[in-house]
């Protein structure tokens, strides 16, 4: 075998999405050779995912013609040849448009290839005493082997041009018995776990992902954030993202001793557990935040404004943001004035309007409504567009309004008079009431999420649509 020495490190895309072939610099002389088989920093700079390998396997093959595969495994692999030479064949067995796509190449010790989860791997040795090595990002187990997807080496649809015909090659009986492509059940994608799936945002996420088999919904019965067993009862390597729609949101009760404990437990301690899991398993953590992390003194709040919460609820949300911000793959989606299913400000005002009640509503708090269906759509957009990780503000767009102005709009849409709503200051409204301090300005800057291609709808149009839907439901 002749190895080409001193090639530059190079990455080459292949026809299979995510499969990348690497040329490795090999340095040698009369004594032998040396190479950096895997170098995280340099290879990540070339686009290799930070796949966090945890196990190194070596397949030694005594004779040329030894043929193994085609096995698609539930983890990512970085494959190289330690000694000898192979003909490699890779077939996409993932569910999707590229299912069945084939790539082949000869590899010696100066090459390596990255194989994502679900892409079938096979090789045939072209020299005696060939060693084929794998770095993988999950530990092998009998349970994991049950998640493999297989393809027959002789499949006609794949039509792999084996250098040594299979009838003269060394194959295992198991590999000979694997199914042909027409009978292969594609490997499904990793799952998305939605927590808090029975809350306002959780129900909107159920609607946004309706019919998606790869999305798992968990309410408190299925995932109790306060139970240690919830965090240990899953194989987290089967998940690509966690959307945390669960939170303690009782703003005023959070100021009480009991409420304070519950707020910190749900909004910080549970979030810290999710952050540890996401970091350890390379999962994207989507965390929903609040305008309450700000004191409300800015004309509008950009994502990078320093956190300055006024009350306990805001403090716990700010602490949760700080924790999630340290997860390598995270989206913090910061919202304001959330409206969805269940009890909310718009439904309350519509009910008052229909009953002829003329309320006093706070007129010195300014912001925009965020509708849960739109928040869910924004979250899905961030995940599917692979937007840069980080913090994104989200609310409806349009001219900011006070709560009193929104209430007047609701009254008009409900068939009453907007003038039935009178304004009152926050200080007057909460006089002699036990209430948490609130930011007076909750307007969120929306430039960052717009730059990803997601355009928030106008608040006035969304309010009309929401009220129309409410009316149609009786």
Structural domains of the chain sorted by starting position, each given as residue range(s) with its CATH number in brackets? 10-183 (2.60.120.10), 191-472 (3.40.50.720)
Among residues 22, 71, 132, 394, the one annotated as catalytic is: 71
Among residues 22, 132, 134, 331, the one annotated as catalytic is: 134
The answer to whether 195 and 218 have CB atoms below 8 angstroms apart is yes
Distant-in-sequence, close-in-space partners of 291: CB < 8 Å, separation ≥ 6: 301, 334, 335, 336, 337, 367, 439, 442, 444
Per-residue confidence (pLDDT) for residue 473, from 0 to 100:
65
Return the closest-CA partner of residue 53 out of 78, 79, 73, 19: 78
Give the number of other CB atoms < 10 A from CB of residue 95.
Answer: 16
71 is known as an active-site residue:
yes
Task: Give, for all 474 residues of the chain, the pLDDT tens digit.
Answer: 567 777 899 999 999 999 999 999 998 888 888 999 999 999 999 999 888 899 999 999 999 999 999 999 999 999 999 999 999 999 999 999 999 999 999 999 999 999 999 999 999 999 999 999 999 998 887 777 778 999 999 999 999 999 999 999 999 999 999 999 999 999 999 999 999 999 999 999 999 999 999 999 999 999 999 999 999 988 898 999 999 999 999 999 999 999 999 999 999 999 999 999 999 999 999 999 999 999 999 999 999 999 999 999 999 999 999 999 999 999 999 999 999 988 899 999 999 999 999 999 999 999 999 999 999 999 999 999 999 999 999 999 999 999 999 999 999 999 999 999 999 999 999 988 888 999 999 999 999 999 999 999 999 999 999 998 876 665
Q: Measure Cα distances from 426 to 38, 108, 239, 360 in Å.
A: 60, 73, 44, 11
394 is known as an active-site residue:
no
Per-residue confidence (pLDDT) for residue 171, from 0 to 100:
95
Q: How many CA atoms lie within 13 A of 300 on its CB side?
A: 17
| Separation CA 107–CA 81 (nearest Å) | 7
Per-residue confidence (pLDDT) for residue 452, from 0 to 100:
97
| Separation CA 331–CA 215 (nearest Å) | 18
Per-residue confidence (pLDDT) for residue 28, from 0 to 100:
87
């Amino acid at each position: 075998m002749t190895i080409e020495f001193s090639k530059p490190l190079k990455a080459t895309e292949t026809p299979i999405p995510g499969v990348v072939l690497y040329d490795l610099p090999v340095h040698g002389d009369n004594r032998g050779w040396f190479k950096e088989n895997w170098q995280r920093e340099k290879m990540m700079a070339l686009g290799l995912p930070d796949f966090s390998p945890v196990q190194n396997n070596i397949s030694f093959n005594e004779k040329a013609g030894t043929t193994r595969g085609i096995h698609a495994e539930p983890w990512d692999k970085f494959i190289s040849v330690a000694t000898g030479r192979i003909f490699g064949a890779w077939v996409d067995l993932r569910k999707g448009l590229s299912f069945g796509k084939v790539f082949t190449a000869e590899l010696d010790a100066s090459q390596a290839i990255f194989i994502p989860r679900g892409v079938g791997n096979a090789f045939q040795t072209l020299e005696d005493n060939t060693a084929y090595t794998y770095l993988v990002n999950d530990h092998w187990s009998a349970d994991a082997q049950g998640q493999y997807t297989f393809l027959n080496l002789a499949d006609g649809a794949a039509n792999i041009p084996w250098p040594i015909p299979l009838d003269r090659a060394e194959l295992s009986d198991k590999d000979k018995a694997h199914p042909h492509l027409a009978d292969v059940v594609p490997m499904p994608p990793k799952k998305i776990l939605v927590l808090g799936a029975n809350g306002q945002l959780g129900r909107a996420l159920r609607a946004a992902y309706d019919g998606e088999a790869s999305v798992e919904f968990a309410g408190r019965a299925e995932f109790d954030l306060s139970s240690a067993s919830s965090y240990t009862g899953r194989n987290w390597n089967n998940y690509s993202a966690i959307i945390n729609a669960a939170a303690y949101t009782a703003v005023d009760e959070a100021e009480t001793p009991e409420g304070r404990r519950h707020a910190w437990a749900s909004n910080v301690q549970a979030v810290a557990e999710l952050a540890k899991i996401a970091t350890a398993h390379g999962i994207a953590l989507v965390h929903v935040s609040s305008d309450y992390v700000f004191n409300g003194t800015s004309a509008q709040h950009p994502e990078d404004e320093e956190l300055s919460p006024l009350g306990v609820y805001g403090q716990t949300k700010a602490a949760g943001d700080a924790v999630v911000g340290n997860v390598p793959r995270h989206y913090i989606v910061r919202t304001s004035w959330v409206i969805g299913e269940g009890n909310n400000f718009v439904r309350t005002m519509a009910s008052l309007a229909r009953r002829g009640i003329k309320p006093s509503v706070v007129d010195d708090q300014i912001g925009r409504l965020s509708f849960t269906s739109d928040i869910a759509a924004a979250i899905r957009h961030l995940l599917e567009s692979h937007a840069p990780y980080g913090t994104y503000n989200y609310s409806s767009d349009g001219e900011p309004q006070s709560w009193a102005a929104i209430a007047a709009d609701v009254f008009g849409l409900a068939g009453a008079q907007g003038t039935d709503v009178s304004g009152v200051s926050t200080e007057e409204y909460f006089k002699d009431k036990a209430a948490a301090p609130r930011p007076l300005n909750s307007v969120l800057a929306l430039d960052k999420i717009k730059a990803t291609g997601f355009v928030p709808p106008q608040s006035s149009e969304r309010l009309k649509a929401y009220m129309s839907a409410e009316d149609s439901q009786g």
